[in-house]
Chains A and B, each alone.
Chain A
Amino acid sequence: MTSHLETAHDSATPESGETPEVPRTPWSRFRRRFRTQRVGLISLGYLIFVVGIAVLAPLLATDSPNAQDLRAVLASPSGEHWLGTDDVGRDVFSRLLYASRTSLLAALLAVAVALGLGLVPGLVAGYARGRIDGIVMRIADALMAFPPLILAVALVGVLGPGLTNAMIAVGIVFSPRFLRILRGAAMSIREETYIEAARGLGCSSVSIIGRHVLPNVLSPLIVQISFAAGTAMLAEASLSFLGLGVQPPDASWGAMLGRSYRFYDRAPWVVLFPGIAIALTVLAFNLLGDALRDSLGREER
């Protein structure tokens, strides 16, 4: 009787046969691999730099972001206004610093909404399968059939313009991505022996999902969060460009662009600098995502 229990216990611990040279924890394994990713490290450094700028904006700004100087409208870059001024004489450099707060926060908010909407249905659908899975996936497929920006614009249209509503809309549009990843991961994990063991020990489905499935989908999730943050930032910029996102006098990079676009032929810098800021930050999120994907993931390597 005792020997029976022991064998069952043995087969439920897959980590017993580990080779000595592989670092013990997944975290140190990840760190060792990530350290060799030069592009990923540069991207991460750049993103930390942008976050630093956002936090320290009041200290770094050379001017108040909303101070208008109507004698220096659309002034070109100079010693006084490093990146020029916009159509009401506001300092582009200072506004750019403050706007990074809105842009980062917006991306964060949209990813949080998408994750919040996708998490539970994705895990449940992948774990439960059958009819629940069928229904959830039909709805996710339907959401993905919409042209993303048209759906986001329509959602903001009915909810009313504003940064929070815009980011809720973007989050809704992106939620199927998280849902699908979580579902896929949950589906493959549910076949593992340790899940079977947990079920055999009488754990409830809720505790199995929370304690065993969720920690194991973290890797693909982290990768997707990095990509989604970049795409969400682009989406926020698009909505704010159209005047549906953040409302004046507050600005995100996209809103700065949208407001000044009519002056692009006279003062290209009012459009160029926020545009470059968006492009670089989105690029950094995407490249970081690539590096994370290569460093996390397949543990057998």
Chain B
Amino acid sequence: MTRLVVRRLLSLIPLLLIVTFLTFSLILLVPGDPAVTLAGDNATPEQIDATRERLGLNDPMLVQYGKWVGDVLTGDLGTSLYRNEQVSETIIDRLPVTLSLTFLALVVALVVAIPAGLIAGTRAGRASDKVATVAASVGVATPSFLLALILLLFFAIWNPWLPATGYVALEDSPWEWFRHLVLPAITLGTAAAAEMTRQLRSSLVDVLKQDYIRTAWSKGLASRVVVGKHALKNAAAPMLTVAGLQVTVLLGGSIIVEQIFGLPGLGQLVISAVNSRDLPMIQGVVVASVIIAVLANLVVDLLYGYLNPKVRAQ
């Protein structure tokens, strides 16, 4: 296991180098002279020069990248071009909102996907399987804003049970935190739930055809043991991988959900940064989100190694 951890951690180094380089390269895509574009429409030549100086655009590109990565490693993501704020501080302020939302969405996805996938996978071809499969297809295709609309109408407008917008920090009131995040988490988690249901169903169908399952049945084991212990454990591994990939997707999807439900997280931050073309802020949010996604997938990989001795031995 230690070898697996070390190997996975080492493999992160090239990945993070490329990821940071790609994030840094965003500046190359700014049309025209970045300093002129980013300084805004009515900038004076002095302001343009100041922007150029602040972004370090006078240095050769690799020097710029080196400086930027060095700063990122020490947790310094620069200063916002428009607000007098440290990018890293702003991101740390907003991070709990996005992490809460993503976490609860993942919980929603698992709570729905495990029973639904189990039912569909063990009754493949029967009516309950068909219902689950169709529901999963619809869930994948439904845009989050349509689902949000339906949830908001039913649970916030027509029946004022839950708040429609806003956020309360967990440390201020756990109950209010939860109440404010229920609808956003369901909105965000539905597509992930659908994706994971499909994955669990198809891997269960495969596993249940295996010889060792037939052996387990013929030994006279209860179906609870055959399915719960033998089949589910083996079918869980591919689902875990999908769960890791879903964290990445959920972090992206949180942009829309935060916008609809008025949650002051990274998604809202990146939208306002994009609207004002605040490049350091955009780069900061992108780097922060990709690092979270990479770490989440690292955890998944290690869990996978824990569940599957074959991976550990490699």
Contacts and interface: CB of A to CB of B under 8 A. Distances in A.
A and B together in one complex:
yes
A222 interface: no
A138 B18 contact: yes
Point out which of A153, A234, A280 has the most chain B C-beta atoms below 10 A from its C-beta. Answer: A153
Interface residues of B, number: 51
Contacts of B290: 145-147, 150
A154 B259 contact: no
A89 interface: no
Q: Contact size class for A?
A: 35 or more
Interface string B77-118: 000000000000000000000000000000000000000000
A148 B286 contact: no
B200 interface: no
Contact of B273 (A141, A157, A283): A157
Interface string A181-218: 00000000000000000000000000000000000000
B274 interface: yes
Interface stretch (B54-62, B120-128, B140-148, B172-180): B140-148
A147 B149 contact: no
Interface stretch (B66-74, B212-220, B233-241, B245-253): B245-253
> Considering residues A139, A154, A261, A264, which has the most beta carbons from chain B within 10 angstroms of its beta carbon?
A154
B277 to A, nearest CB: 7
Contacts of B221: none
Given A145-B19, A146-B293, A148-B252, A268 B153 contact: yes
Interface string A255-280: 00110010011001001100110111
Interface string A7-26: 00000000000000000000
Nearest to A142: B18
B157 interface: yes
Contacts of A154: 26, 270, 274, 282-283, 285-286
B182 interface: no
A55 interface: no
A276 B146 contact: yes
Given A155-B29, A242-B259, A261-B260, A142 B22 contact: yes
A241 interface: yes
A141 B289 CA distance: 16
A150 B29 contact: no
Given A142-B22, A159-B29, A149 B252 contact: yes
A244 interface: yes
Counting chain B CB atoms within 10 Å of each CB, which of A145, A230, A244 scores highest?
A145
A85 interface: no
Interface string B249-293: 111110110011000001100110111010100110110011001
Contact of B271 (A146, A153, A159, A286): A153
B256 A146 contact: no
B67 to A, nearest CB: 19
A279 B143 contact: yes
B16 to A, nearest CB: 9
B45 interface: no
13 contacts: A138-B15, A142-B18, A143-B22, A145-B15, A145-B297, A147-B250, A147-B289, A148-B252, A150-B290, A156-B274, A234-B143, A261-B149, A275-B149
Counting from the closest, the 3 A-B pairs by CB-CB distance are A149-B252, A275-B146, A157-B274
